[in-house]
């Protein structure tokens, strides 16, 4: 889930404030020793205490030393490609959930069908499967929520909404009764758009036989974009930038009167830290993205990571045993607890009981209506610069006819997504 390719979904940074253990990310130690195991985890994905306790328990039970090597998201796609083409470089590896299908299709990941009957979270399990075969196990998920300034909403007389209509009404009150920007929403937050399209029953692309085609030029796509445009009209953000350019959590929100914005947990934490560093106090509240009706919350992109075994692992038997322990009910529960309920659990028998009013409470509530982008190798091609979905969004927000902009984007999406 290389940031250049997956800027909107790189949710491992959700726990960026938590330290991971390991080396400098070079991955030079390698595997292949029957008395040791090499595990690659991404920077910030797991608290060091959890890793230390897990590996101590594993070593005591199996007599095998576990070497955890911390990897950086930047450049991980290339490092994984190299590692999976060599014997014994790494045994167990963390993979972004949108990456898994690509590496499985190259033959780099081992078949993990023996784990299929575990009570995995259904939404998260989908990203680890290819043609009915399980190649990676869910580890954690995370999604966006609405982050709002309590004092500004109170000043405006706005209430937390339960529907899209109520959301717009709240933003109108803020616009009328305060000097604040009602919502900061960049023109190209395309995974937010994806949720609105999913609310309508649509998708970025659909599969037809062995091929995929762009599906933006549809009533569902137009309805999703129409609502996005309604929200974006309350924002002073340019129409040609995304949430990372500039970084909304640390460069925009702490320096402007922003009444609300849509972000991930690590962004909320970053904004709080930046505001406090400036000598002020953050007063954030959180609520799930509302749906068209109060019956169901709005769909959200469910990002996260999976754990897989290298097909060319030096110690495949112990790799599976480590995976079995790490994703078991006991250790999955410990992982959720160690993260302070800041992640969506990977299993249905793991409970997350976040504090009332917390970011985690809003996030976990939305997880049941999480969506994923098309799970195919070619999706990474769609997300490369220039991203045709982002370009379509800017064109429409700037006044271009939706149908023509969507047809142009669909043609490019179709070309890219079917290219390996």
pLDDT higher than 60, residue 137: yes
30 confidence band (pLDDT: 50, 70, 90) = very low
- 224 and 123 co-located in one domain: no
pLDDT higher than 90, residue 7: no
Overall average pLDDT of the 190-212 stretch: 96
11 confidence band (pLDDT: 50, 70, 90) = very low
**DSSP label of 113:** G
Which of these, 163, 418, 150, 195, lies nearest to 303 by C-alpha position? 195
- 277 and 325 co-located in one domain: no
Assess contact for 294 and 163: CB atoms under 8 A.
yes
Alpha-carbon distance 388 to 83, whole Å? 31
Classify residue 100: in a domain, yes or no.
Answer: yes
pLDDT higher than 60, residue 126: yes
17 confidence band (pLDDT: 50, 70, 90) = very low
CB atoms within 10 A of CB 233: 14
- 295 and 309 co-located in one domain: no
Alpha-carbon distance 229 to 183, whole Å? 12
Classify residue 5: in a domain, yes or no.
Answer: no
- 293 and 395 co-located in one domain: yes
- 15 and 95 co-located in one domain: yes
Overall average pLDDT of the 291-301 stretch: 96
- 114 and 155 co-located in one domain: no
Between residues 317 and 13, the one the model is more confident about = 317
Alpha-carbon distance 52 to 7, whole Å? 30
- 83 and 153 co-located in one domain: no
- 205 and 309 co-located in one domain: no
Alpha-carbon distance 64 to 223, whole Å? 55
Q: How many domains does the structure of the chain reveal? A: 2
Tokens of residue 110, six digits: 């081992």
Assess contact for 147 and 263: CB atoms under 8 A.
yes
Which DSSP helix (H) or strand (E) runs through 193?
helix 190-199
pTM for this model (two decimals): 0.84
Classify residue 365: in a domain, yes or no.
Answer: no
- 41 and 130 co-located in one domain: yes
Classify residue 222: in a domain, yes or no.
Answer: yes
Instruction: Tell me the CATH number at 121.
Output: 3.40.190.10
Classify residue 364: in a domain, yes or no.
Answer: no
- 176 and 118 co-located in one domain: no
- 195 and 129 co-located in one domain: no
- For residue 124, the enclosing domain spans 11-142+302-357
Classify residue 51: in a domain, yes or no.
Answer: yes
- 61 and 117 co-located in one domain: yes
Mean pLDDT in the chain?
90
CB atoms within 10 A of CB 258: 23
28 confidence band (pLDDT: 50, 70, 90) = very low
Classify residue 3: in a domain, yes or no.
Answer: no
- If you write DSSP's letter for every residue of 163-230 in order, what string do you get? BHHHHHHHHHHHHHH-SSBS-B--TT-HHHHHHHHHHTT--SEEEETTEEEE--SSHHHHHHHHHHHH
């Amino acid at each position: 889930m290389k940031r250049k390719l997956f800027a909107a979904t790189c949710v491992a940074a959700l726990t960026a404030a938590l330290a991971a253990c390991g080396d400098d990310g070079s991955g030079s130690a390698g595997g292949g020793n029957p008395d040791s195991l090499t595990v690659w985890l991404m920077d910030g994905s797991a608290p060091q205490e959890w890793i230390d306790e897990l590996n101590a328990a594993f070593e005591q039970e199996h007599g095998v030393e576990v070497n955890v090597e911390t990897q950086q998201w930047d450049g991980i796609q290339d490092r994984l490609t190299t590692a999976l083409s060599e014997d014994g470089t790494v045994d167990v590896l963390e993979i972004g959930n949108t990456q898994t299908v690509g590496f499985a299709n190259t033959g780099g990941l081992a078949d993990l069908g023996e784990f299929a009957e575990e009570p995995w979270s259904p939404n998260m399990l989908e990203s680890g499967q290819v043609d009915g075969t399980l190649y990676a196990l869910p580890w954690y998920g995370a999604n966006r929520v609405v982050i709002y300034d309590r004092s500004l909403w109170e000043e405006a007389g706005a209430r937390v909404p339960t529907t899209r209509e109520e959301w717009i009404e709240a933003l109108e009150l803020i616009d009328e009764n305060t000097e604040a920007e009602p919502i900061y929403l960049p023109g190209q937050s395309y995974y937010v758009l994806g949720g609105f399209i999913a609310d309508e029953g649509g998708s970025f692309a659909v599969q037809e036989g062995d091929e995929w085609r762009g599906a933006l030029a549809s009533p569902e796509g137009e309805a999703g974009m129409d609502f996005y445009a309604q929200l974006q009209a309350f924002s002073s953000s340019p129409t040609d930038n995304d949430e990372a350019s500039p970084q909304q959590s640390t460069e925009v929100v702490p320096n402007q009167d922003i009444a609300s914005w849509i972000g991930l947990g690590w962004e909320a934490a970053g904004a709080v830290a930046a505001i406090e560093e400036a000598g002020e106090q953050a007063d954030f509240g959180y609520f799930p993205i509302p749906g068209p009706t109060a019956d169901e919350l709005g769909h959200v992109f469910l990002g996260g990571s999976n754990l897989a075994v290298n097909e060319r692992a030096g110690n495949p038997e112990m790799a599976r045993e480590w995976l079995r322990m790490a994703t078991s009910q006991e250790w999955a529960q410990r992982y959720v607890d160690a993260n302070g309920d800041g992640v969506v659990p990977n299993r249905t028998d793991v409970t997350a009981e976040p504090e009332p009013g917390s970011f985690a409470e809003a996030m976990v509530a939305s997880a049941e209506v999480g969506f994923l982008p098309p799970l195919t190798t070619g999706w990474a091609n769609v997300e490369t610069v220039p991203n045709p979905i982002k370009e379509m969004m800017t064109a429409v927000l700037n006044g271009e006819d939706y149908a023509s902009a969507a047809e142009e984007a669909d043609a490019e999406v179709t070309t890219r997504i079917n290219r390996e």
